[in-house]
Structure 1
Amino acid sequence: MRIRVAWWHQGEKGTVLLLPGRTECIEKYGRAAGDLVARGYSVITIDWRGQGLADRALPDRMAGHVGTFAEYQQDLDAMLQAAETAGLPKPWFMMAHSMGGCIGLRALQRGVPVKAAVFSAPMWGISMAAWLRPVAQMVTALAAPTRLAHRYAPTTGPDNYLLQVPFEGNVLTTDRDMWAYMRDQVREVPALGLGGPSLAWLRAALKECAALAALPAPDIPAICALGTAEKVVDVAPVHLRMAGWSNGQLDLYPGAEHEIMMESPSVRKRFFDRAAALYDANRG
Structure 2
Amino acid sequence: MAYTSAVPDAPFHAAVAEAPRNGKAHWIYAEDGTRLRVAQWPGSDPSKGTVFVFQGRTENIEKYGRAVCSLNSLGYSAFAIDWRGQGLSDRLTEDRMTGHVNRYGDYQKDVTAMLQAGETLDLPKPWFLIAHSLGACIGLRAIIEMNPFEACAFTAPLWDINLSAFQRRAAWPVSWMAQTFGKGHAYAPGTRGEAYVLTTPFEENRLTHDPDTYQYYMNISKSLPDQVVGGPSMGWLFQTLKETRRLSKLPSPDLRCITFCGAQDEIVAIPAIRDRMARWPGGKLEMVPGSRHDVLYEIPEIRQHVMRATNDLFASTGATSNA
Please give the range of the TM-score, normalised by the shorter of the 2 chains.
Answer: over 0.9
Moved over 4 A (4+): none
1:3: which partner in 2? 36
1:266: which partner in 2? 301
The separation in 2 between residues aligned to 1:164 and 1:248, in whole angstroms, is 37
Deviation digits for residues 17-54 of structure 1 (CA, Å, limit 9, x no counterpart): 11000000000001101111111111100000001111
CA contact (8 A) 1:19 1:95 kept: yes
2:17: which partner in 1? none
2:193: which partner in 1? 158
The separation in 2 between residues aligned to 1:58 and 1:111, in whole angstroms, is 29
The answer for unaligned runs of 5 or more in structure 1 is: none
CA contact (8 A) 1:171 1:258 kept: yes
Could you say what the CA RMSD is over the residues aligned between the two structures, in angstroms?
Answer: 0.9
The amino acid of 1:266's aligned partner reads E
The separation in 1 between residues aligned to 2:77 and 2:213, in whole angstroms, is 23
Deviation digits for residues 47-66 of structure 1 (CA, Å, limit 9, x no counterpart): 00001111101110110111
Aligned mate of 2:269, from 231, 234, 237: 234
Secondary structure of the structure 1 residue equivalent to 2:112 = helix
Q: CA deviation at 1:82?
A: 1.4
Secondary structure of the structure 1 residue equivalent to 2:183 = helix
The separation in 2 between residues aligned to 1:160 and 1:191, in whole angstroms, is 11
The separation in 1 between residues aligned to 2:56 and 2:152, in whole angstroms, is 15
CA contact (8 A) 1:136 1:154 kept: no
The separation in 2 between residues aligned to 1:147 and 1:138, in whole angstroms, is 14
Secondary structure of the structure 1 residue equivalent to 2:180 = coil
Q: CA deviation at 1:264?
A: 1.0
Aligned mate of 2:80, from 45, 64, 68: 45
1:111: which partner in 2? 146
Identity over aligned pairs, percent:
44
The separation in 1 between residues aligned to 2:118 and 2:41, in whole angstroms, is 10
The separation in 2 between residues aligned to 1:106 and 1:55, in whole angstroms, is 22
1:98 aligns with 2:124: no
The amino acid of 1:235's aligned partner reads I
The separation in 1 between residues aligned to 2:123 and 2:167, in whole angstroms, is 44
Secondary structure of the structure 2 residue equivalent to 1:204 = helix
What does residue range 51-62 of structure 1 map to in structure 2 within 5 Å? 51-62=86-97
Secondary structure of the structure 1 residue equivalent to 2:39 = strand
What does residue range 68-79 of structure 1 map to in structure 2 within 5 Å? 68-79=103-114
1:280: which partner in 2? 315
The separation in 2 between residues aligned to 1:150 and 1:166, in whole angstroms, is 27
2:24: which partner in 1? none
1:28 aligns with 2:63: yes
Q: Could you tell me the TM-score, scaled by structure 2's length? A: 0.86
Secondary structure of the structure 2 residue equivalent to 1:149 = coil
Q: Could you tell me the TM-score, scaled by structure 1's length? A: 0.98
The separation in 2 between residues aligned to 1:243 and 1:30, in whole angstroms, is 32
Aligned mate of 1:63, from 98, 101, 105: 98
Secondary structure of the structure 1 residue equivalent to 2:97 = coil
The separation in 1 between residues aligned to 2:163 and 2:85, in whole angstroms, is 23
Q: CA deviation at 1:132?
A: 1.1
Q: CA deviation at 1:129?
A: 2.2
Structure possessing the higher relative contact order (Cα contacts under 8 Å, 6 or more residues apart): 1
